[in-house]
Amino acid sequence: MNSLPLSLTIATDMVGSILIIIFSFLALHYARLLTRKQPENFLWGFLFSFCLTLAAFAISRAIGHLLKHILLFSGNQELWQTLAPVSGGLNTALMISLAAVTLYYHKGIEGYQAIKRKARSLKEAYDQLETAAEQLQEMNLHLEEMVAARTLALSASEKKFRNLFNNSKDMVYFSDATNQLLTMNSAGFEMLGYPVAGAPALHLLDIFKNEADLDNYYETLLVQGFVKDLEVELTKADGTGIPVLLSATAVYDDEGSFSGCDGIVKNLTRIKTMMAQLAASEKMASVGQIAAGVAHEINTPLGVILGYSQLMMDDFAPESEQGQNLAIIERQTKACRKIVADLLKFSRQSESARENISINEILQDVIAVTQHSLNMDHITVQQDFSQELPPIIGDTERLRQVFVNLINNAHHAMKKQGSGDLTLISRYDSETREVVATVQDSGHGIPSKILARIFDPFFTTKSVGQGTGLGLSVSYGIIQNHGGQIEVESPVIDRASQETIDGTAFHVRLPAVQVETISGHE
């Protein structure tokens, strides 16, 4: 049997021993370089330890093999027999160390990953802290500017709210949970007739005319959290009532408990007056139609009675009893015909001649006619005419009739007093584009209970024989036929001082001719 020469095996073993030393040290060298380059990398640290153990094992094994062959060739078998167990034990120990390093690799990796996660978490926290620090630094740098901008915004918002609160023409108020008024704008105090400065502390119970309305308001506020368009009557400082429309919203504190409310109140007096005037206008239209029919039916028999009575008067002497009776019949028939004529004027719907008219000229003409009788009863006439009034379109004679009626009524109201002041005012209302003529007296005024009836046909407060009750009705119809309206005010509120004075004022409002309209006609 052929076999390899022993010398070749020995040479291979010796070369292998030398190469294992060389390669293990090369691996150790590169592992050391990697560890220096990334000292925090756990994998390179493990690899360096592994290569170090491997290099020690390679040296031990290579030296053992080389020493064995050297001793065997030199004939020192006994010495090798002595060193062989030591060399084998050292190799075994190094092999066990290498195995231990390998076995604990996984544990090391787990620890390394845990440390890496912790480091990553710390880095993220550090980054967040760094970002927060940058934001804080930025805020510190611009804090003054931010505070100034925020203060400016709050100031602008507060100014808007304050302007709305102070300039509102409606009452705006704030109350607490017990309905005690905390704050109210000046319009509210003026609406209730209290002075703005030094006004007393008010409770809603003080200004609600009916306590039941207050209970309903408070209960609705608690249940729904708001009150919308509640029509109630409030009490003014002088004890008179005022119709209003109230809306309020409940206010709650941080714990959700009811702490009060804020509300707004709109005065309905003017709206109520306009509704009453509208109802009166509709009633007047119906009455006018009826009056026209009645007047035509009565006028014919009255003409017959008057004609026959005048014919019979020719047959009797005026001093005789028959002549006197016929004169009475004639006089009373003529009085009836005058009433019928007034009814026809009241109900007349036909258009009359229209032209551009100066309201000041009409008022001056009427004053010239009535001045003497007014002076006889010690009534002073005052004129306050605006000299820059646009013209109106209408019938001069009919409008004169209206103002004569109004002045005669004012004269009658002041005649019993023995003296008085009659004021005639003309002005232009730019908001409604109307010319306003006012006839104001200082008489006893019109009681509120009959104020809504003064334009009714045949309604009068004069004694029997002194009036038919058709003067204001006819005037009302004439002004409506001109596209205007008559407003009555009693007592009168002075436009300059806003104080209430005794007397009555009739405001005749007529649409003005606009400048562009006149230019178009020209």
H or E segment and range at residue 123 = helix 105-167
Contacts of residue 480, Cβ cutoff 8 Å, sequence gap at least 6: 281, 284
pLDDT of residue 98: 67
Q: Is 277 helix (H, G, I), strand (E, B) or coil?
A: helix
| The amino acid at 181 | L
| The amino acid at 356 | N
pLDDT of residue 503: 87
For the chain, residues with pLDDT lower than 50 are 1, 3, 349-351, 464-465, 516-522
Q: Give the pTM.
A: 0.40
pLDDT of residue 289: 64
Question: Are 400 and 365 within 8 A, CB to CB?
Answer: yes
Rounded CA-CA distance 385/396 in Å is 18
Rounded CA-CA distance 45/34 in Å is 8
Compute and round to an integer the Cα radius of gyration of the chain. 58
pLDDT of residue 286: 63
Q: Is 245 helix (H, G, I), strand (E, B) or coil?
A: strand
pLDDT of residue 128: 87
Rounded CA-CA distance 243/233 in Å is 4
Mean pLDDT of all residues in the chain? 78
pLDDT of residue 508: 92
Cis peptide before 491 (omega within 30 of 0): yes
